[in-house]
Amino acid sequence: MTCILVTGASGFVGRAVCERALSLGMKVKGTHRSVSSQSLVPAGVERIQVQTVDQDTDWSRALAGVEVVLHLAGRVHMAKDTAKDPLAIHREVNTAGTERLARMAIVAGVRRLVYVSTVKVNGEQSSNVPFTEADVPQPEDPYAISKWEAEQLLCRIGVETEMEVVILRPPLVYGIGVGANFLRLLHLARRGVPLPLGSVSNRRSLIYVKNLADAILRTAIHPAAAGQTFLVSDGEDLSTPELIGRIANAMELTARVFRCPRHLLSVLGYLLGRSPEIRRLLSSLAVDCTKIYSETGWKPPYTMSQGLKETIEWYLAGEPLTREVSSASTAYFPRLGPTSKQ
User: Which neighbouring-strand residues pair with 3?
Assistant: 27
Which of 115, 143, 174, 208 is flagged as catalytic?
Answer: 143
Residue pair 110/63 in contact by the 8 Å Cβ criterion:
yes
- Answer yes or no: 332 catalytic: no
Measure Cα distances from 304 to 54, 76, 247, 308 in Å. 36, 24, 11, 6
Q: Do 177 and 325 contact (CB within 8 A), yes or no?
A: no
CB 43 within 8 A of CB 70: no
Give the end-to-end CA distance of the chain in Å, rounded to a whole number.
Answer: 49
Cβ-count burial 20-30 (b if 16+ within 10 Å, e if not): bbeeeebbbbb
Burial 51-87 (b: 16+ CB within 10 A, else e): eebbeebebeebbeebbbbbbbbbbbbbeebeeeebb
101 contacts: CB under 8 Å, gap ≥ 6: 7, 53, 57, 59, 69, 71, 113
Distance of CA 78 to the CA centre of its chain: 13
Dihedral of CA 35/37/39/41: which sign? negative
Residues belonging to the active site: 143
